Amino acid sequence: MLVSIMGPGGAYRGALMMFSSLAENSAFPRASGSSKIKVTLKQGSDAPATVHALNQLFGDNETPVITFAVPSIEAALGGMEDRLDFHLEYEGKNIGDIEWHSGFKARDELRKCLEGKPYYDKNPLKDKSVK
C-alpha cells in the first residue's frame, strides 16, 4: 500500500489523504469511474471512523485508490506522528494496512515545499545516501 498527503495550503482550505493498493489482487474496491463509498479508517490509537471517501482508478495501471477529504493541509501535517499505522475496512472486510516511520522528517519536508523553500526531492528508495 501507499499513503499520500496532498494539499496546496495557503488560502485554499482543502487537502486529501489517499491510499493506494499496489498489489494486483488486492481487496481494494475497483470503481468504474469515480464513486463515493463508505470506508472505515483506523489511524493509530484513534477510534475507527466510518466516513465517505472517493474511490477511483488512478494512472495508466488503473491502480485502485481511496481518497479522504482533510480540512486543510495544516490539519493533516499537525496530525502526523513519527510512527503511525492505518487500517482500512470496506464492507466489513480488511482491505489494507500500512505503517509509516520518519513521519516528522516527511512532515518537515512537506512544510518546506508548501513554503516554497528548497526541500529534499530525491527518491529515498533509490538514494543510497539516505539512512
Calculate the average pLDDT of the chain. 88
Domains and CATH numbers, the chain: 2-114 (2.60.40)
Please say if the pLDDT value at position 65 is more than 60.
yes
Residues 6+ apart with CB under 8 A from 89: 39, 40, 42, 48, 95
Q: Kindly state the helix (H) or strand (E) to which residue 73 belongs, with its residue range.
A: helix 73-78
**Average of per-residue pLDDT across 62-86:** 92
Measured CA distances, 97 to 14, 18, 41, 54 (Å): 25, 13, 10, 18
Sign of CA dihedral 86, 89, 90, 96: positive
pTM over 0.85: no
Please say if the pLDDT value at position 22 is more than 90.
no
User: Tens digit of pLDDT for each residue in 37-52?
Assistant: 999 999 999 999 999 9
What is the reported pLDDT for 26?
A: 83
User: Within 10 A of 58 (CB to CB), how many other CB atoms are there?
Assistant: 12
Q: Which of 23-27, 49-53, 121-125 has the weakest average pLDDT?
A: 121-125
Q: Kindly state the helix (H) or strand (E) to which residue 54 belongs, with its residue range.
A: strand 49-58
What is the reported pLDDT for 81?
A: 94
Residues 6+ apart with CB under 8 A from 12: none
Q: Percent of the chain, pLDDT > 90?
A: 54
